[in-house]
Amino acid sequence: MNICIIGAGNMGGAIALGVAQRFPQHQITVTNRSGNDTIRFADYANIACGTNNKRATRGADIIILAIKPWVMKDVIAEISDVVTADQSIVSVAGGITLTELEGLLPWSCPLFRAIPNIAASVGKSMTFISERNADKKEMANVVGIFEALGEVAVVEEKLLPAATALCSCGIAYAFRYIRAAVEGAVELGISPDDALHYVLQTLNGASALLEKEKIHPEAAIDLVTTPGGITIKGLNAMEANGFSAAVIAGIKASK
């Protein structure tokens, strides 16, 4: 399979590296106008780099547009005379709907929106995909690409804003909790490096427990709290300061 990725930024680069490692049989071409940000691909025989979008898209099975939303119109106009209706186009640009994307194209073809998060760079993304005009094989090909970056869920497009808030924005909220927990631990006398290690392991453990036991988070909390114990005191103090309400408000504000 030939894959063209237009854009060599954080997300385009993560996609290229993830696919190259998992699917060495695929040929990947990454373009970047400036020619920068491509040295990280040098060790991969199946990644070619360039600056010419037209040349890169010609003959590609899948074209991934890992670009900013405000340049989407110009990039599609640039490649529209060489792209054909049997090529799949995947937009990773946030906020551009499939209807808007289709309106930029002079032809009908399989269209996809993919919303990964930055954990794609370590193979742990939670990616959401919606499609238009795609058959099962075309969908399977695109899902397979993003499975190289973590987990994938195919959802209705109307759910993408909520999914973005929960996972793409939500990973920043997780980082904010980690930062706050480390700061609290430092105040209690633990070194910053040790505190970060301890918090990350605790979160790994919490995630693994919920996945293994298939229980609701509140049921897991009940396993930790005892009447009159320190955990319930800490939880109540967090709630008194708006912890759950702040998380819910943040996710809703991101939609």
Interatomic CA distance for residues 250 and 255, integer angstroms: 9
68 Cβ contact partners less than 8 Å away, ≥ 6 residues apart: 93
What's the confidence (pLDDT) of residue 108? 87
Structural domains of the chain sorted by starting position, each given as residue range(s) with its CATH number in brackets:
2-156 (3.40.50.720), 170-254 (1.10.3730.10)
The pLDDT value recorded for residue 204 is 97
Question: What pLDDT score does 26 carry?
Answer: 94
Would you state the pLDDT for residue 10? 87
Instruction: Tokens 């993919």: give the residue.
Output: 114
Where are the strands (E) in 70-177, listed by range? 88-91, 111-115, 125-132, 150-154
Task: Look at residue 212 in the predicted model and tell me its pLDDT.
Answer: 96
Note whether 231 and 222 are within 8 A (CB).
Answer: no
What is the reported pLDDT for 121? 85
* Confidence at residue 223, expressed as pLDDT on a 0 to 100 scale: 95
Residues of the chain with confidence (pLDDT) below 50: none
Helix (H) or strand (E) holding 240: helix 230-240
| pLDDT for the residue 9 | 87
- Residue 13, Cα to own-chain centre: how many angstroms? 12
As given in the structure block, the two tokens for residue 45 are 């025989």
